[in-house]
Amino acid sequence: MFRVANLLKNNRLDKELDYLEISKKLKVPAKYIMAIEEEDIKNFPSEPYCSLIVKDYANFLGLNGEEILSLFRRDFDRKVDTSTQINLHRGITPQTTFLISVLLTSLVFVVYLIFEYIKFNRPPQLSLDWPNSVTEYVEVKGKTDPEATVRINQDLVIVQPDGTFFKKITLSNSETKIIVESKSQSGKIASDQKSYPPKN
């Protein structure tokens, strides 16, 4: 299939016309005539100026301007499609960078919401350092979530900003059972307990 650029160029050469002569007759820069013949898209004039030049140039050469313009648009569209595909492989455009940024931000936000939901609906973390040897009292030390509420044998205990807590419990003459409960803001409870024999 014959391309319009070749058709225009061959007709010009058959008539032994140069770019400057055509430029003067059509009153358009010679560089545009040259760009159209060489299919140098990056140097094409902007539309609708480009289409007008092609049509006038074809008529000037004795061709059907409307027909040549239609074929030129066909060739030009195909060229643009190919150019677009090539550009996609050359690098990331600002639009692509923006889209990736939006997607990553959305993904981070969704992950954050999921994490907060799980954190809110799970029982709080609870770790206790039970003493092995005791005398008249037991020092209960532990750590939980800073936002949790801690009770030891139903007594409210102060939780430090880092989640640690402490309470000294005096042993009774009978077996002493110590129950530690940590309650999250959503009402979930984590608990642990240990029994100590009567004091000596």
Q: Same domain, yes or no, for 41 and 111?
A: no
pTM greater than 0.75: no
User: What is the model's pLDDT at position 80?
Assistant: 46
Q: Are residues 84 and 103 in the same domain?
A: no
pLDDT classification of 91: cutoffs 50, 70, 90: low
pLDDT at 68: 85
- For the ranges 51-65, 76-90, 174-188, the lowest mean pLDDT is seen at 76-90
Whether 34 shows a pLDDT value over 50: the answer reads yes
Check whether residue 113 and residue 59 sit in a common domain: no
Residues 58 and 28 in one domain: yes
26-53: average pLDDT: 87
Average pLDDT score over residue span 19-30? 88
In CATH, what number is assigned to the domain containing residue 148?
2.60.40.10
Whether residues 8 and 79 share a domain: the answer is: yes
Q: What confidence score (pLDDT) does residue 176 get?
A: 87
Number of domains comprising the chain: 3
Domain final residue, candidates 90, 108, 134: 90
Same domain, 14 and 71: yes
- Cα–Cα dist 176/179, whole Å: 10
The CATH code of the domain that includes 79 is: 1.10.260.40
113 and 184 in a single domain? The answer is no
Q: Where in the sequence is the domain holding 97, given as residue range(s)?
A: 93-121
> Is the pLDDT higher at 141 or at 92?
141
With 50 as the cut, is the pLDDT of residue 75 above it?
A: yes
pLDDT value for 71 = 84
- Tell me whether the omega of the peptide bond preceding residue 123 falls within 30 degrees of 0, making it cis: no
